[in-house]
Amino acid sequence: MPDASASADPRAMEAQAPAAKSGRLLLTGSLMAATFMQALDTTIANVALPHMEGSLSATQDQITWILTSYIVAAAIMTPLTGWLAGRFGRKRVLLISVAGFVLSSALCGIAISLPQMVIYRLLQGVSGAALVPISQAVLLDTYPTSKHGQAMAMWGLGVTLAPVVGPVLGGWLTDDYSWRWVFYINVPIGILAFFGLLTSVKDSPRIKRNFDFFGFGVLSVGVGALQMMLDRGEIKDWFNSPEIIVEAALAGFGFYFFVVRMVTAKHPFLSLALFKDRNFVTGNMFIFVVGIILFATLVLVPPLFQGLMNYPVITTGLIMAPRGVGTMLSMVLVGRVAGKIDPRILIGFGFALSALSLWQMMGFDLQMDEWPVIWSGLTQGFGVGFAYVSLSSVSFATLPPQYRAEGTAFFNLMRNLGSSIGISAVQALLTENTQTMHSSLSRFISPYNPALHGFDLHSTQTLAQLNGLITSQAAMVAYNDDFKIMMILSLLTIPFLIFLRVKAPRPGEKPEIVALE
């Protein structure tokens, strides 16, 4: 029987192994490029906004719609990913998503008015929403369970590094070329990703499911209204604005009717089976906190150095780069030890490092040099890498393959919601605490204060200088308070690791993750 002998021949197996390995590497690299491109656009446009105002004839309030339109569109479309992948196949959805993202990026680059830019950014968000969850599902199905940690480590570089690289790349492209290159940069990356995916991705079986229009509709209303409320709350003074009250009410009703629909409908938009897996539910709670810690810190640090310490955009980006280096190093390390060490230890270690980095940030002051930022960023990047990779594999280890597309979509939705809530919360606290501390420090401006002897407190110029110093110190204290709150949140999350169940392995076996029955 020649076929049997050939298949059993070690030399034949060795000949086939490199091909399979090279195919996986091409697939992983292409998926990394696609997710990097999508994640990059969450932060790369931020630094270019002031330059866009003049070109698009927009006010400072109007220009934020360039960010809001992308975030809201991506948030609404992310939960739809599971149904699209089942109905049309993962390969087709991936290729259409990449092509749509490249086309909409090019259109953003040539936009000549604010309405055009908002429409093209909406298309970008709609196209890019499926890239991260489907890429994650494809990798989990392509690699054996024993190599899920390594696969998630390689793929996770794109998701976690892109938001860190975004401000640096955006600042460089805007300063040296034009803000339009912030969007053009996606074109070559997307073309390479498209052809790589075209040749390496195998199509998935089609699953015919009834589409729950009502469930999707109320979830879209809930997610979209929440994103709008969080994004515009600070501008509109939160619940003192009728707009924010309406958006909060819509978000509450949307989520309420979605939960009711999911529990009562015969074919709900999201399968209830997802929430019967303890590891999946616990993993989503942890990734929600990761979204808060990672993205809220990325939002706080650049204005701290550009606004309070007058650092240039490029310099700020460079001193934040070690955060990405730490993430990369930790992901490589986790990929090597995954399956050999209890994943709860890796996740706990990651959150402990994140808490340590935030403790270091609590010591920031206006006289420091760049080294405290470098060391704290390196520590936090290291911690995020440990936590993210382990969570990405553990959360889906016990989930049946037919639920992975839905599961990865919900997983990424929770990460995005965590980042949105975290960013809004820390910015609101920053503004409030700055005002409170400014009021407290202002009480010391008095002729009876010995420290102010020699100052002409009747001079308008002197009072303006003192007010500037007080504002800077008040803002610094408010930043430290934000870092303290996130540190406490990191530490409070660690005990919930007990809800991840792992069987004790026999000698020579790897740890096995156990689902909740």
Q: Model pTM?
A: 0.75
Residue 83 is encoded by which pair of tokens?
């149904």
Q: Is 502 helix (H, G, I), strand (E, B) or coil?
A: strand
34 has pLDDT over 80 = yes
Query: CA 217 → CA 61, 261, 269, 493, distances in Å?
Result: 29, 11, 10, 32
Question: Using H for helix, E for strand and C for coil, what is the string for 201-225?
Answer: CCCCCCCCCCCCHHHHHHHHHHHHH
Share of the chain above pLDDT 90, in %: 16
Distance, in Å, from the CA atom of 483 to the CA atom of 499, rounded to the nearest integer, reads: 27
506 has pLDDT over 50 = no
Distance, in Å, from the CA atom of 280 to the CA atom of 233, rounded to the nearest integer, reads: 31
Cα-based torsion angle of the residue sequence 463, 469, 474, 475 in order, rounded to the nearest 10 degrees:
130
Question: 442 near 249, Cβ under 8 Å?
Answer: no
6 has pLDDT over 70 = no
pLDDT of residue 479: 92
* HSE-CB of 132 using CA atoms within 13 angstroms: 33
pLDDT of residue 399: 83
Token pair 């690289």 is found at 165
460 has pLDDT over 60 = yes
425 has pLDDT over 50 = yes
Which is more confident, 20 or 517?
20
Token pair 């892109």 is found at 162
218 has pLDDT over 80 = yes
Query: CA 203 → CA 92, 95, 198, 209, distances in Å?
Result: 8, 11, 10, 18
Q: What is the pLDDT of residues 439-452, one digit of tens each?
A: 888 777 766 667 66
* pLDDT-derived band at 160, boundaries 50, 70, 90: low
* pLDDT-derived band at 20, boundaries 50, 70, 90: low
pLDDT of residue 448: 67
Segment 257-263 shows an average pLDDT of 89
376 has pLDDT over 80 = yes
Which is more confident, 156 or 403?
403
462 has pLDDT over 50 = yes
Q: What is the mean pLDDT of the chain?
A: 80
pLDDT of residue 353: 93
Q: Is 323 helix (H, G, I), strand (E, B) or coil?
A: helix
Which is more confident, 301 or 248?
248
Q: What is the pLDDT of residues 102-150, one digit of tens each?
A: 999 999 999 988 889 889 998 998 998 888 888 878 887 787 777 777 7
CATH of range 23-206; options 1.10.1200.10, 1.10.260.40, 1.20.1250.20, 1.20.272.10? 1.20.1250.20
Task: Return the number of other C-beta atoms located less than 10 Å from residue 297's C-beta.
Answer: 25
Segment 297-319 shows an average pLDDT of 77
Residue 154 is encoded by which pair of tokens?
């390689």
* pLDDT-derived band at 309, boundaries 50, 70, 90: confident
Which is more confident, 311 or 12?
311
Distance, in Å, from the CA atom of 326 to the CA atom of 376, rounded to the nearest integer, reads: 10
Distance, in Å, from the CA atom of 344 to the CA atom of 499, rounded to the nearest integer, reads: 10
Question: Using H for helix, E for strand and C for coil, what is the string for 109-175?
Answer: HHCCCHHHHHHHHHHHHHHHCCHHHHHHHHHHHHCCHHHHHHHHHHHHHHHHHHHHHHHHHHHHHHH
* pLDDT-derived band at 356, boundaries 50, 70, 90: very high
Distance, in Å, from the CA atom of 349 to the CA atom of 347, rounded to the nearest integer, reads: 5
The two most distant CA atoms of the chain are separated, in Å, by 103
Buried b (16+ CB within 10 A) or exposed e, 10-35: eeeeeeeeeeeeeebeebbbbbbbbb
Segment 348-365 shows an average pLDDT of 92
pLDDT of residue 359: 94
Residues for the chain: how many in total?
517
Q: Which helix (H) or strand (E) holds 512?
A: strand 512-514
86 has pLDDT over 50 = yes
pLDDT of residue 502: 65
Most confident among 257-261, 268-272, 463-467, 496-500 (mean pLDDT):
257-261
7 has pLDDT over 70 = no
Residue 89 is encoded by which pair of tokens?
């196949």
pLDDT of residue 21: 59
Return the CATH number of the domain spanning residue range 271-442+455-517.
1.20.1250.20
pLDDT of residue 22: 59
pLDDT of residue 103: 95
99 has pLDDT over 90 = yes
pLDDT of residue 484: 94
Question: 152 near 393, Cβ under 8 Å?
Answer: yes
Q: Is 309 helix (H, G, I), strand (E, B) or coil?
A: coil
Distance, in Å, from the CA atom of 127 to the CA atom of 100, rounded to the nearest integer, reads: 5
53 has pLDDT over 80 = no
* pLDDT-derived band at 13, boundaries 50, 70, 90: very low
483 has pLDDT over 80 = yes
* pLDDT-derived band at 419, boundaries 50, 70, 90: confident
Least confident range of 403-407, 472-476, 502-506: 502-506
Instruction: Residue 133: name the closest of 122, 121, 141 by CA.
Output: 141
